[in-house]
Amino acid sequence: MPLPLNWLEGPGEIANAAAQHVATLIARKPDAAIALPTGSTPVGLYRRLAELQGKGRFSCPQARFFNLDEFIGLSLDDPRSYGAFLWQHVFRPLSVSPSQVQLLRGAAPDPAAECRRFDQAIAQAGGLDLAILGLGSNGHIAFNEPGSDWNAGTREVVLTEATRHGQRSVFGREADVPHRALTMGLRTLREARAILLLIAGSGKAAAIAAMLRSRPDRNWPVTAILDHPKLTILADRALDPARAAGAPPAFPGSPGA
């Protein structure tokens, strides 16, 4: 089965296509349960949704939102937490109410209980209608690092040095990046009714190469979702290795291009 991969013209086109994807889902199912990523890749999507809402072409007063992951030890008051990121970039701009939001709490006193609570909240929502994902340089999705169990639910994980290095700009110094995090598991992501994977930014060549090999590989967590029946991948054409190798450009936006 060919990968449902769309090479698009930069972050702007990815943001437009991703926003359309989300708007279409919410038009069909206003109370959709959606897992949201942090990082630089999805910021354009969030901005585009706020623009659409400003023009009266999008609103999500009944949608339910979950974060994918969170650093252990950071509370929502900490501007470096993923929860704070989502409030800043998504929930406040879209006027989402706290009752629509379920966040993993990194400062919860009992992380295992927090993970159980979160899995129950997802189950109570009827499972995820859509998991939106970014891609880590080592192929991680959410904080499922290389070697992650494909059957795992939400749990505490130890971050790799590569991942901590990638987060240093948020924390100022690499030494301040937490070593542990809570993350939705690969099982939860695989069980989502649809998955939207967004790929942009630098340092992802090896992860993209692993994805393009399209073989299940525990060392590359992104390969856990490639056989999902409702997967859409939107990727920056600048990262297409065929293009870098000088191959003729594929037809713009064609699936599998």
Q: Which residues are catalytic?
A: 69, 138, 140, 145
Residue 160 engages ligand GLP in binding (rule: CB under 6 A): no
Q: Where are the beta strands (DSSP E) in the chain?
A: 5-8, 33-36, 64-67, 69-71, 101-102, 130-133, 155-158, 180-183, 195-199, 231-236
- Using the rule CB under 6 A, which residue among 5, 32, 37, 240 binds ligand GLP? 37
Neighbours of 153 (CB within 10 A): 18
φ, ψ of residue 37 in degrees (nearest 5)? -90, 165
Round to whole Å and give the CA distance between 219 and 179. 20
> Cβ distance 157 to 181 under 8 Å?
yes
CB of 133 vs ligand GLP, minimal distance in Å = 6
Residue 46 engages ligand GLP in binding (rule: CB under 6 A): no
Q: Which stretch binds ligand GLP (CB under 6 A): 85-93, 130-138, 220-228, 235-243?
A: 130-138
- In whole angstroms, how far apart are CA 30 and each of 26, 49, 100, 190, 252? 5, 15, 12, 22, 31
CB of 40 vs ligand GLP, minimal distance in Å = 4
- Using the rule CB under 6 A, which residue among 35, 84, 142, 211 binds ligand GLP? 142
Round to whole Å and give the CA distance between 253 and 181. 35
Residue 145 engages ligand GLP in binding (rule: CB under 6 A): no
- Using the rule CB under 6 A, which residue among 83, 106, 111, 134 binds ligand GLP? 134
Residue 68 engages ligand GLP in binding (rule: CB under 6 A): yes
CB of 98 vs ligand GLP, minimal distance in Å = 22
Chain residues in the site for ligand GLP (CB under 6 A): 37-41, 68-69, 134-136, 142-143, 163, 201
